[in-house]
Amino acid sequence: MNRILSLVVYLNQNGLAEYGAYLVLYRNKYDSEGIEGIKVTPGFGAVVAFLSEDFPYEVEIA
């Protein structure tokens, strides 16, 4: 069974962006190799929902 929908909710009130914990979304599976994706800056109360099979993703850590 594959994950269909991913939901990320940032509940930490401390500055997550300082640690570089960015969610990076790519347009397709080929973009993740060498092409910069869309970086979502973590912030308290932010919610990100996306179709897991359509948008490859990773968490970029400093």
Question: Can you point out the beta strands (E) in 10-54?
Answer: 22-25, 38-40, 47-51
pLDDT at 62: 64
Distance CA 60, CA 58 (A): 6
pTM of the model: 0.71
Output the CA angle 55-27-41, nearest 5 degrees.
75
Instruction: Return the pLDDT at 15.
Output: 65
Query: pLDDT tens, 9-37?
Result: 988 887 666 777 789 998 876 665 667 78
What is the pLDDT, as a whole number, of residue 51? 92
**What are the pLDDT digits (tens) for 40-54?**
888 888 899 999 888
What does pLDDT average to over the chain?
Answer: 82
The three-class DSSP label of residue 40 is strand
Structural domain boundaries in the chain: 5-60
